[in-house]
Amino acid sequence: MNINAEIRQQLDQLNQKIEIVEVDRLTDILETTFSFKGSKIDWSKTVSHQYRKYDIRDSSLKDILAFVKQPDLYEYIQNSEKICYLNDGQLDFGLSFSPDAFFEMVQLLLKQIPTHHYFFSASPDWCLAITMEGDMDFSLAPEKVHE
């Protein structure tokens, strides 16, 4: 069984409603909202950027969970109508889910897929990137989105 089939099977077993979304649709949302430098978001052109390293050997994801539970960051996650997920190509689909499923999805996806992960609001007001090299970035979308 390949990683796409494995993740789909695990998603089916969750008690959350998770929608499978075309990668191109989610890529378009990110690329029209955020500026990119090469293949990465240009965080210098975002608003209220926060950055932190995490220990890539920590399978409990303690550092990542602490980062996203910061009150100012967590508020954006919880107030999102839907959260979208993309990665750097390990899966041939993206995901959309409610904020209630966020922590369960972080645990599932980060433990199963060694890649760069992008979580963002469907609006899109914010983006959280978690890399397999131990970097975490969170930022609000550029001002033009908030006007």
Mean pLDDT, all residues of the chain? 92
* 62-81: pLDDT as tens digits: 999 999 999 989 999 999 99
Cis status, amide bond into 99, omega within 30 of 0: no
pLDDT at 147: 42
**Mean pLDDT of all residues in 19-35:** 94
Band (pLDDT 50/70/90 cuts) for residue 145 is very low
Reduce the secondary structure of 2-60 to three states and give it as a string: CHHHHHHHHHHCCCCCEEEECHHHHHHHHHHHCCEECCEECHHHCEEEEEEECCCCCCC
Beta bridge partners of residue 137, listed in sequence order: 51, 129
pLDDT at 60: 86
**Mean pLDDT of all residues in 134-144:** 88
**Residue 138, helix vs strand vs coil:** strand
* 37-49: pLDDT as tens digits: 988 899 999 999 9
Q: Say which residue, 1 or 83, is predicted with more confidence.
A: 83
Task: Compute the residue count for the chain.
Answer: 147
DSSP string, 61-128: -HHHHHHHTSHHHHHHHHT-S-EEEEESSSSSSEEEE-GGGHHHHHHHHHHH--S-EEEEESS-SEEE
What is the DSSP pairing of strand 135-140 with strand 36-37?
A: unpaired
- Say yes or no to pLDDT of 58 above 90: no
Element spanning 136, H or E? strand 135-140
